[in-house]
Amino acid sequence: PPQVVRLAVGGMTCAACSGAVERALAAVPGVARAGVALAEGEAEVVFDADEASVKQLLAAVDDIGFEARLVS
């Protein structure tokens, strides 16, 4: 089933940062859509909960050097 989560992403200071976070999230298998709002420091991710987990999303952001935590 599709699940939508919002993540708080720390450490993004420019549009290249938010683009990198977006790509990292989109590359996680099972992610259907990933959007990052640079000014808000937030990401919204739509994913198939059978294929991906919140833990994997957070890890994908962490792996490229930003900090993420679940907001909702």
Residues found near ligand 9UX in the complex (CB under 6 A): 13-14, 16-17
CB of 27 to ligand 9UX, least distance (A): 17
Cα 16 from chain centre: 15
Read off the amino acid at residue 29: P
Q: Tokens 């198939």 identify what position?
A: 48
Toward ligand 9UX, which CB reaches closer, 17 or 26? 17
CB of 71 to ligand 9UX, least distance (A): 21
The HSE-up count of residue 8 (CA atoms within 13 Å, CB side) is: 5
CB of 55 to ligand 9UX, least distance (A): 24
